[in-house]
Copies of this chain bind each other. A is one copy, B any other.
Amino acid sequence: MLFAIIMAGGSGTRFWPKSRRNRPKQLLNLHGDSTMLQQTVARIAPLVPAERVFIITGADQAEATREQLPQLPAANVIAEPCPRDTAPCVGLAAEIVAAQDPDGSMIVMPADHVIEPADVFLRTVKAAVAVIDADPSALVTFGIKPTRPETGYGYIQRGELIETRDGVAVNRVVQFREKPDRDTAEQFLASGTFAWNSGIFLWRARTILQEINRHKPLLGAALHRVGEAWGTAAGPDVLAAEFPEMERTPIDKAVMEKAANVKVLEVVYDWNDVGDWRALRALLPADAQGNSVRGDVIAQDTKNSLLISDDGGLIAAIGLDDVVVVQSGKATLVARRDQLDKLKALVESLNDRGYGSYL
């Protein structure tokens, strides 16, 4: 059986002021008619029923997450006691899946990516399932064909072509590479053999647990103790005791870089991690002046701007070019688009500036 594990953490500073501490990006309706989390669950729904969908999120966000997904059993929204990066998160999910189905497979997905069209995504997932049905010890990762020398993503180098399944190329993995510098990213792009690491993985729960045990035995043992207690009265206490002690490490580094049998699918759907307001603007429809607008907005002699009014206020813009204006709650961001990379540091400074209530 296939299970879906949706990783829904994140502080969401890059979408401030719409995103806040207890309302990170995946809980927002940035694009379309539902939130990114809801879109992620809906996208996989044709292959995975709600009972087999698990959301791993932070304690601050568990309640809002359950509210957005009433079709899921409440227990399927799991709050991590504290952030421990993706290896403990994935391992915990694998324990839960393995307990329900020792041969169960799981797809691991971030909650905050835009993926379209859904049918191409589902076809790719089916191909990945077929790959591990034929080779249960394989770890499958979904690679994105890069379109620019992006320095903000991890990369995966493809090796030999193993097979083409349902039109999807399946290659061996030569290496995983962390976020490169600009020159290296240019080389990766030029080589044609590198894919972006989209953070979507598919494997048997048993396989990933074996790999964690092999490469991170202490983590594997701790996960096993949590798995043993899961579903019993002691479950929450064991999780609360064990989780904070687990090694804080990403699954890519803890396992994927070291595992012997890793296969990469080069996906053909459109993918966008919507990393900031700039990326969102590129996704939204624009009017003849290049403005993307949401809510009550007047754009007078204004072009190439993103103007978002949440909560029913009015934004009146006059004479702007390439500016992002977002009004949400009691906070307003006004930024030149080419300087949005400063937003993260600004939001992180709010507490020290005495504006912690806006986080």
Binding site for B on A (CB under 8 A): 16-17, 296, 298, 300-301, 309, 312-320, 323, 325, 327, 330-336, 338-340, 342-343, 346, 349, 353, 355, 358
Contacts and interface: CB of A to CB of B under 8 A. Distances in A.
A155 to B, nearest CB: 30
Given A298-B353, A339-B301, A355-B298, A333 B346 contact: no
A316 B331 contact: yes
A296 to B, nearest CB: 7
Contacts of A313: 330-332
Number of copies: 2
9 contacts: A296-B355, A314-B358, A315-B331, A316-B333, A316-B343, A317-B334, A318-B333, A319-B339, A320-B336
Contact of A318 (B315, B316, B336): B336
A41 B303 CA distance: 45
A314 B331 contact: yes
Contacts of A349: 298
A312 B317 CA distance: 21
A343 B301 CA distance: 11
Contacts of A300: 342, 346
Given A298-B346, A301-B342, A342-B301, A319 B331 contact: no
Contacts of A332: 309, 313-316, 325, 327, 332
Contacts of A358: 314
